[in-house]
Structure 1
Amino acid sequence: MTETSWRPSGKRLTESLRAALAPVAACGIALGALAAWTLVGNAGEGASIEVSQGRVFLPSSESGDTAAFFRIDNTGGMDDRLTRVTSTGSLGEPTLSTHRMTDGSAAYPETVDSVTVPAGGSLPMSPFGLDITVRAKAGWRTGDLVRFTLYFENSGPIRTQAVVVLPGDGPQ
């Protein structure tokens, strides 16, 4: 018995190449579309945090407890989270807090661990909602600048300043 080696015919080679051409072409088109999507800036766009309009109220009590507020905008394509705040101009570590109302219409602060800054949106901070509770160092005067660092889950730390104002001054 003699063995003969198998050889593909020209027709088989042509059919095999045609069968392989469709998935290879589809992959090439998909890769080209993804590359174009990336080049025009629509892919992989993470959070882009901007912090501005920082203000901190001049404490009205001897305890030195007061509140700081910032405008926080996320112009990126992904949500981010504000997770922590520090300040070199305060005593102790500032905390994120929100104000709740009692049945008797009195407000009290409630500490929160973190807050979301939505993609393409902003994080509203005001005396009536979210703020940063801070204990002032002695000697703050209106117009002083207090340094803060805001820590974001994806964007990392952002250093900024807040101007000391009297309650009721500045944007609410």
Structure 2
Amino acid sequence: MPVAALAVPVVTCLATLGTLTLWTATGNAGTPARLSVSEGRALLLPSPDGRTEATAAFFTVRNSGGADDVLTGVSGPAGHRVMLSRTVDIGRNARRMEMVRSATVPAGGALRMTPTTLDLMLSPAPARAPGDRLTFTLHFRNSPPLTAHAVASRPGPALDPPDTP
């Protein structure tokens, strides 16, 4: 094979490799997920025996990085199972709860949990008083776990997500 015939593919490969290297070195290839979690809220509801129980928790997970990440699970207070769940419309102003395996935290965005979207269900619901703090550890596909606290609150405006991003 003549040397001239090899020169075209070799030069093309070197030019492509050089361009990709320059693109990556200038930060255009993106950055990994950079996650943070705000203090959350735990919803307090009365139980049949008159105690107050924390039934669900809500957090906002922010991602300032350039790549999506995925919330894959949550561990909570000792002796209590924590499940990711969401509210699903089933028609005629009716909704039901559905368990989910994961939730995406978008690059440059946030995953906001609310009583009517994604939340963390606690089972059995721990007895708590308003102002008590519950500790959770959020687990992600590509990032290290984050520990977050939720303040126990009764239903009301305190559980509504803020309008700011």
Residue 125 of structure 1: CA displacement?
Answer: 1.2
Q: Deviations over 1:29-67 (max 9, x none)?
A: 222211211112222633332222411122332483511
Distance change (3 Å), C-alpha of 1:55 and 1:21? same
Counterpart of 2:153 in structure 1 is 165
What runs of 5+ residues in structure 1 fail to find an aligned partner? 1-14
Q: Deviations over 1:91-142 (max 9, x none)?
A: 421111112345564543221222222333322311111111114433x232
Residue 170 of structure 1: CA displacement?
Answer: 4.4
How many Å separate the matches in 2 of 1:43 and 1:105? 45
Task: Say how many residue pairs are matched.
Answer: 156
1:96 alignment partner AA: L
Q: Is the 8 A contact 1:56 1:66 kept in 2?
A: yes
Secondary structure at the counterpart of residue 71 of structure 2:
strand
Q: What is the TM-score when the length of structure 1 is the normalising length?
A: 0.74
Counterpart of 2:135 in structure 1 is 147
Counterpart of 1:69 in structure 2 is 58
Distance change (3 Å), C-alpha of 1:97 and 1:166? same
Counterpart of 1:82 in structure 2 is 71
Counterpart of 1:93 in structure 2 is 81
Q: Is the 8 A contact 2:67 2:107 kept in 1?
A: yes
Residue 79 of structure 1: CA displacement?
Answer: 2.7
What runs of 5+ residues in structure 2 fail to find an aligned partner? none
How many Å separate the matches in 2 of 1:28 and 1:107? 58
1:57 alignment partner AA: L
Is structure 2 residue 35 aligned with structure 1 residue 49?
A: yes
Structure showing greater Rg: 1
2:57 alignment partner AA: A
Q: Is the 8 A contact 1:91 1:136 kept in 2?
A: no
- Share of identical aligned residues, percent? 42
How many Å separate the matches in 1 of 2:133 and 2:26? 40
How many Å separate the matches in 1 of 2:34 and 2:28? 14
Q: What is the TM-score when the length of structure 2 is the normalising length?
A: 0.76
Q: Is the 8 A contact 1:59 1:136 kept in 2?
A: no
2:33 alignment partner AA: A
How many Å separate the matches in 2 of 1:110 and 1:42? 39
